[in-house]
Amino acid sequence: MKLSTRILSLALIVVPAVPVLAAPAAAAAPVVPAPVVVARYSFDTTVAGRIPDLSGRGTPLTIRTAAGGALRYVTVGANRYVGLPVRCATTGACPRALLEGTDDPDLDPGTQTFRWGASINIGKAQLAGSSNIMQKGVANTESQWKMQVGATHGRAQCVAAGRGSAKPYLVRSSVAVADGTWHKLQCVRSGAALAIYVDGVARGSVAVPATMSLSNDKPLRIGGPNFNTSSDMYHGYLDDVYASLG
């Protein structure tokens, strides 16, 4: 009897509930801001003889020509793209043309992540030296960023040189792009790397100093660096030229 009473007493003891601990909240993924387009040119229209910027932050492009050069506009459906003067066999008097912007602060990214790109169509026979698609700054100045196509193998190239340093860094794409078809090219400087993309695929990368600052007082130029007789002019077609921060 005493044993039964003891068992009954134990059964009546209230056992405190064990609190259920919530699982720790997962750390929120860092929010990476989307790149901000700071210059974009589609060539679909001209306004007062200039190519308008579509980003809302850049400046229009002025068309500059020499020796009878002119832009060639090609319209396909709702799209229009532009062709630079074709390559000629001689030098000096060859027709030339380029598009020139201004010294826009948005195009001086310093050490920020910076992207510049274009859609191009050029054949091997139209390559002359390192055909300059777009650039800001020139060699042996305080800084430069550039996109070009090499004449030897027809590969796309990205070039960057930092402020205060004469050393340029160059990355070549692992595939040729001078094949007479359209290709989307993009150069990306991010931290300690300079990379090149062809049609959305990474095709090369080189290490650069993370402290390398891209900044100069030169205008944006598309299609060539200048009108010197030895200039590396671009002689193919161009569309959707742009630059973005971040």
* 210 within domain boundaries: yes
Q: In the prediction, which pLDDT does 28 show? A: 66
CA distance 194 to 159: 8
CATH number at residue 147: 2.60.120.200
Element (H, E) at 161: strand 155-161
Q: In the prediction, which pLDDT does 23 show? A: 55
Q: In the prediction, which pLDDT does 21 show? A: 52
Q: In the prediction, which pLDDT does 230 show? A: 77
The domain containing residue 145 runs over which residues?
36-245
CB-count exposure of residue 92 (10 Å: 0-12, 13-18, 19+)? exposed
Domain tally for the chain?
A: 1
Q: In the prediction, which pLDDT does 11 show? A: 42
Q: In the prediction, which pLDDT does 142 show? A: 79
Q: In the prediction, which pLDDT does 115 show? A: 98
* 14 within domain boundaries: no
* 52 within domain boundaries: yes
* 157 within domain boundaries: yes
59, 54, 161, 41: which is closest to 107 by C-alpha?
A: 59
Q: In the prediction, which pLDDT does 216 show? A: 94
* 149 within domain boundaries: yes
User: What does pLDDT average to in each consecutive run of 10 residues of the chain (246 residues)?
Assistant: 43 46 60 88 96 97 96 95 92 87 96 98 94 91 92 97 88 98 98 98 97 95 90 96 97
Q: In the prediction, which pLDDT does 139 show? A: 75
* 99 within domain boundaries: yes
CB-count exposure of residue 105 (10 Å: 0-12, 13-18, 19+)? exposed
